[in-house]
Chains A and B, each alone.
Chain A
Amino acid sequence: MADKKATREAYGEALVELGRKNKNVVVLDADLSKSTKTSLFAKEYPERFFQMGIAEQNLMGTAAGLAASGKIPFASTFAMFATGRAFEIIRNSICYPKLNVKICATHAGITVGEDGASHQALEDIACMRAIPNMVVINPADAVSAKAAINMAAEYKGPVYVRLGRAKVPVIYDENNFKFELGKGIQIKDGNDVTIIATGVMVSSALEAREKLLAEGITARIIDMHTIKPIDKDIIIKAAKETKRIVTAEEHNIIGGLGSAVAEVLSENCPVPLKRIGVKDSFGESGKPDQLLKKYGLTAADIVSAVKELL
């Protein structure tokens, strides 16, 4: 199988390159730069790195002020605190005035692992996509994460990029990858069902596809990296052509990718849908793989869901 690399690593590296190319890029963190990897930028461009301490609301407010002054701020901390603690600052000071702040939060989802429930953001996609003017991206691997960060720097307006702690398989070829905002990537075609996945679940979806193939079931696999604005066309096409949809996300089944897909299906082409994700519970301490298993986020779980639809 391919290499494994954490999306937060790709983020840290991409930031350094961005810092070199664009003097307006500034970075802010809340005492987690070694974990979020903004420390790499801090080392190269200390005059453009702003440590804000464990004060996430002020982190986001300061980012807003920097953006209003012509800078391109990348504001990082853990997803829980970025989108939870600072939710209202993001909503009122960044999104309402549509300021050019890029919120790149790491340690999203249950694969945070041993830190446990307080640190496992399972509602961040739900929160962020409910805010007008916000773009929400959950890249599946290091290659698409880097591309997403570069795209975010070019895009004019607020962006939320959701990154993870754990190492995940590299899916895409760096030399042959194009990131299009708002366009799902059909990695594999299939006729019997479509699995629309995001983030770490894309690899699991590909694994599930192999298992299903062995039983003569072909699953179309779509990487929905952009959850807002969501690619309605690819969803409707999949509904019409494969007639069954399973969504998979490292997030509560309430309010995230599954809900976003359900919204599109119900209004355009209602077909049976199953949502793979955390079933509205908090997480707990454990190793990432153990947690994925315990909370129903494995390839096997995706396979079971597919079979329920057939």
Chain B
Amino acid sequence: MKVDFQKLESIAAQIRRDIINMTAAAGSGHPGGSLSAAEILTVLYFHKMNIDPNNPKWEDRDKFVLSKGHAAPVLYSALARRGYYSPEELLKLRKIDSMLQGHPDMKGTPGVEMSTGSLGQGFSTSIGMAIASKLDQRRNRIYVLLGDGEINEGIVWEAAMSAAHYRLDNLTAILDYNGLQIDGPNKEVMGIEPLREKWESFGWHVLEIDGHSFKEIISALDEAEETKNKPTIIIAKTVKGKGVSFMENEVGWHGTAPNTEQREIALKELGGEE
């Protein structure tokens, strides 16, 4: 399938602008870890996943679980731009009575497959989704995005173990490996290396890519689809805050919203106002 890389670039830039605008309007939220995942979500929602925004409950759809639920802005933007609801909803992020809750709410937001926010749990539920698909002999795929800090949680390893045990080759996990968590870099807070070896020893097929390269993301997703009898994890090396110079690789931009001035600078860098 011929890929329109320019289109994907343009969408990713739009998603990044949305993230800045949403969090600025809300006065809170998680820009850093949302920005690092823009290419990943772009590829999933605009190239790879077999979905229908007009039929969000279609039984054979591919599913995406944002296990690192705090990156809700990137998901909300992708869903809006893909047509699940109007982009006008985006600026209502985190506001009272809004359809866009601080962390994903499957009951309230079209296109959200699981309520997440408490780290590790989304990943665990994706095991259940993958098992259900196999039981029903469906050909759909389950995608789940994890954070690197998130994998400190024990439930992640319980889930990883069970995915291999049940040979869930219809499950593709992606690790948004931006190297930073809240109190500092992963290696200072709680060392997670060696990553490849850990996942391989848990029975997973492991791929390592540049998480901002559309080509590499697509290639990895395709390889995951071809890999049988074991689940695949794509360790995507990313930059937290990617696209906004003063946010890139900065610990402080995990959970702080840009102020008016910062928003303007960021948008300029990202190619526009909206």
Q: Do A and B bind each other?
A: yes
Using a CB–CB cutoff of 8 Å, the interface residues on chain A facing chain B are 26, 47-48, 50, 52-53, 55, 57-58, 60-71, 73, 88-89, 92-93, 96-98
Given contacts A57-B154, A93-B121, contact A62 B131 (CB under 8 A): yes
- Looking at A26, A52, A58, A92, which has the most chain B CB atoms within 10 Å of its CB? A58
By Cβ-Cβ distance, the 7 closest A-B pairs, closest first, are A65-B128, A61-B124, A69-B132, A58-B158, A65-B125, A55-B158, A62-B128
Contact of B162 among A26, A62, A88, A96 (CB under 8 A): A62
Q: Which residues of chain B come closer than 8 Å to A53, judged between CB atoms?
A: 158, 161-162, 165
Who on chain B is nearest to A50 by CB? B131
Is B115 touching A26 in the complex (CB atoms < 8 A)? no
Is A65 touching B129 in the complex (CB atoms < 8 A)? yes
Contact of A66 among B128, B155, B158 (CB under 8 A): B128
Is B132 touching A89 in the complex (CB atoms < 8 A)? no
**Beyond A58-B161, A61-B124: 9 further Cβ-contacts under 8 Å?**
A26-B135, A50-B166, A62-B124, A62-B128, A65-B132, A69-B133, A88-B118, A88-B121, A92-B117
Contact of B131 among A65, A89, A97 (CB under 8 A): A65
Interface string of B120-156 (1 = CB under 8 A from A): 1101111111111101100000000000000000110
In whole angstroms, what is the CA distance A53 to B105 when docked? 29
Q: Does residue B7 face the partner (Cβ distance < 8 Å to A)?
A: no
Q: Which residues of chain B come closer than 8 Å to A48, judged between CB atoms?
A: 135
Q: Does residue B247 face the partner (Cβ distance < 8 Å to A)?
A: no
Task: State the total of A-B contacts with C-beta under 8 angstroms.
Answer: 102
Contact of B125 among A62, A70, A98 (CB under 8 A): A62
Q: Which residues of chain A come closer than 8 Å to B106, judged between CB atoms?
A: 68, 97
Contact of A96 among B115, B129, B130 (CB under 8 A): B115
Q: Does residue B107 face the partner (Cβ distance < 8 Å to A)?
A: yes
Is A67 touching B128 in the complex (CB atoms < 8 A)? yes
In whole angstroms, what is the CA distance A61 to B117 when docked? 13
Who on chain A is nearest to B126 by CB? A65
Contact of A55 among B113, B118, B128, B162 (CB under 8 A): B162
Is B132 touching A97 in the complex (CB atoms < 8 A)? no
Q: Which residues of chain A come closer than 8 Å to B120, judged between CB atoms?
A: 57, 61
Q: Does residue B206 face the partner (Cβ distance < 8 Å to A)?
A: no
In whole angstroms, what is the CA distance A289 to B71 when docked? 53
Listed A/B pairs (24) with beta-carbon separation below 8 Å:
A52-B162, A53-B158, A53-B162, A53-B165, A55-B155, A55-B161, A55-B162, A57-B120, A57-B154, A57-B155, A58-B124, A61-B121, A61-B125, A61-B127, A61-B159, A63-B128, A65-B126, A65-B132, A66-B131, A68-B113, A68-B114, A70-B59, A71-B132, A98-B107
In whole angstroms, what is the CA distance A63 to B162 when docked? 13
Q: Which residues of chain A come closer than 8 Å to B115, judged between CB atoms?
A: 92-93, 96-97
In whole angstroms, what is the CA distance A48 to B128 when docked? 12
In whole angstroms, what is the CA distance A48 to B136 when docked? 11
In whole angstroms, what is the CA distance A178 to B166 when docked? 40
Q: Which residues of chain A come closer than 8 Å to B165, judged between CB atoms?
A: 53
Is A93 touching B135 in the complex (CB atoms < 8 A)? no
Interface size class on chain B is 20 to 34
Q: Which residues of chain B come closer than 8 Å to A58, judged between CB atoms?
A: 124, 127, 155, 158-159, 161-162
Is B124 touching A93 in the complex (CB atoms < 8 A)? yes
Q: Which of B16-52 contact A (CB under 8 A)?
A: none
Is A68 touching B129 in the complex (CB atoms < 8 A)? yes
Is A97 touching B113 in the complex (CB atoms < 8 A)? no
In whole angstroms, what is the CA distance A97 to B155 when docked? 19
In whole angstroms, what is the CA distance A61 to B154 when docked? 13
In whole angstroms, what is the CA distance A65 to B144 when docked? 12
Is A68 touching B124 in the complex (CB atoms < 8 A)? no
Who on chain B is nearest to A91 by CB? B118
Q: Which residues of chain A come closer than 8 Å to B113, judged between CB atoms?
A: 68
Is A65 touching B118 in the complex (CB atoms < 8 A)? no
- Looking at B114, B115, B117, which has the most chain A CB atoms within 10 Å of its CB? B115
In whole angstroms, what is the CA distance A48 to B134 when docked? 11
Q: Which residues of chain A come closer than 8 Å to B105, judged between CB atoms?
A: 97
In whole angstroms, what is the CA distance A89 to B107 when docked? 17
Q: Which of B148-179 contact A (CB under 8 A)?
A: 154-155, 158-159, 161-162, 165-166
- Looking at B107, B114, B136, which has the most chain A CB atoms within 10 Å of its CB? B114
In whole angstroms, what is the CA distance A53 to B159 when docked? 11
Q: Which residues of chain A come closer than 8 Å to B107, judged between CB atoms?
A: 97-98
Who on chain B is nearest to A71 by CB? B132
Contact of A61 among B59, B128, B135 (CB under 8 A): B128
Q: Which residues of chain B come closer than 8 Å to A71, judged between CB atoms?
A: 132, 135
In whole angstroms, what is the CA distance A61 to B118 when docked? 11
Is B135 touching A47 in the complex (CB atoms < 8 A)? yes
Q: Which residues of chain B come closer than 8 Å to A69, judged between CB atoms?
A: 128-129, 132-133, 136
Q: Which residues of chain B come closer than 8 Å to A26, judged between CB atoms?
A: 135
In whole angstroms, what is the CA distance A243 to B91 when docked? 57
Q: Which residues of chain B come closer than 8 Å to A57, judged between CB atoms?
A: 120, 124, 154-155, 158
Given contacts A61-B128, A62-B127, A62-B128, contact A89 B114 (CB under 8 A): no
Q: Which residues of chain B come closer than 8 Å to A92, judged between CB atoms?
A: 115, 117-118, 121
Q: Which residues of chain B come closer than 8 Å to A68, judged between CB atoms?
A: 106, 113-114, 125, 128-129
In whole angstroms, what is the CA distance A57 to B121 when docked? 8
Who on chain B is nearest to A89 by CB? B121
In whole angstroms, what is the CA distance A70 to B60 when docked? 12
In whole angstroms, what is the CA distance A53 to B165 when docked? 10
